[in-house]
Amino acid sequence: MNNQNPGLFDFLPDSPDEIICGVDEAGRGPLAGPVYAAAVILDVSRPIEGLRDSKKLTEAKRDLLAPLIKANALAWAIAEASEEEIDKLNILQASMLAMRRAVEALSTVPTLALIDGNRCPVMKIQSIAVVGGDDKVDAISAASILAKTARDAALVTLHAQYPQYCFDQHKGYGTALHLERLREHGASPVHRRSFAPVRKVLEEFALRAGKAA
């Protein structure tokens, strides 16, 4: 591995045969929609300027970088875990599942996965958790951008199906607007029923229905 962060990955094998992918997720906090993950193997001969944590980039900058990453990376993949899987497994395990799916979907099989955060999904290849990796490791930054742009696009699509919730504006996060629409219209099929604000609304609507019966 060509160590571009001296001291950060000195414990990794320095081998030209090492194939490293960066992995990150997007959408753990929202009340609706799937959680997305991406895995990226960068091509050191085709560097991409401006990579960093997707949360520190504007939407316009992310939208510019995403196609550059797809065009210049050695391999990339995007995967998701559904709302049903989130409610069944919990959001942490669903995020791990989405990340594993992204790695397994890569057209080139990596030998090592660098995962943003402090936990790693169970995979067949070696993985290392890197706290703050989305702003330290270019491959993880690239993955964070692909995951974020894919999820944002998915929420715009969900807005077309459920315009009353304004998913195109808040992307499913628990903003004042989203909570207002949730209380007004109840939970949609894409809301995460295990999340407290959604669960509370479901209980309130069930109580109203019981009183009306």
| 83: CATH | 3.30.420.10
Q: 24 labelled as ligand-binding?
A: yes
Report how far Cα 123 is from the mean position of its chain's Cα atoms.
18
Say yes or no: 93 and 141 in one domain: yes
What residues are paired with 22 via a beta bridge? 40, 114
Q: Does residue 8 sit within a domain? A: no
Say if residues 142 and 48 touch (Cβ distance below 8 Å): yes
Same domain, 121 and 147: yes
Report residues of the chain scoring pLDDT below 50. Answer: 1-7
pLDDT at residue 208, as a whole number: 81
User: Is 119 found in the same domain as 191?
Assistant: no
Q: Are residues 45 and 114 in the same domain?
A: yes
Q: Which domain holds residue 203?
A: 163-212
* Number of compact structural domains in the chain: 2
Same domain, 176 and 133: no
Q: Do 157 and 171 fall into the same domain?
A: no
Q: Is 49 assigned a ligand-binding role in the annotation?
A: no
Residue 86 and residue 106 in one domain:
yes
Q: What is the pLDDT of residue 6?
A: 44
Amino acid in position 167: F
pLDDT of residue 13: 54
In terms of domains, do 42 and 143 share one? Answer: yes
Let me know if residue 78 belongs to a domain: yes
Do residues 156 and 167 share a domain?
Answer: no
| Same domain for 116 and 54 | yes
Residue 11 covered by a domain: no
Instruction: Establish if 28 belongs to a structural domain.
Output: yes
**Domain-ending residue, one of 142, 161, 180:** 161
CA angle 104-152-35, nearest 5°? Answer: 45
13 within some domain: no
6: left (phi over 0), alpha (psi -120 to 50) or beta: beta
Write the Ramachandran bin of 155: left for phi over 0, alpha for psi from -120 to 50, otherwise beta: alpha
Can you tell me whether residue 100 is helix, strand or coil?
helix
Helix, strand or coil, per DSSP, at residue 114 = strand
Q: Would 15 be classed as within a structural domain?
A: no
Predicted confidence at residue 8, as pLDDT, reads 55
| Residues 192 and 132 both lie in one domain | no
Same domain, 135 and 192: no
Domain membership of residue 176 (yes or no) is: yes
Q: What's the pLDDT at 15? A: 63
Residue 186 lies in a domain: yes
Any known ligand binding at 116?
yes
Structure confidence at residue 81 (pLDDT): 98
- Residue at which a domain ends, from 141, 161, 181: 161
pTM of model > 0.85: yes
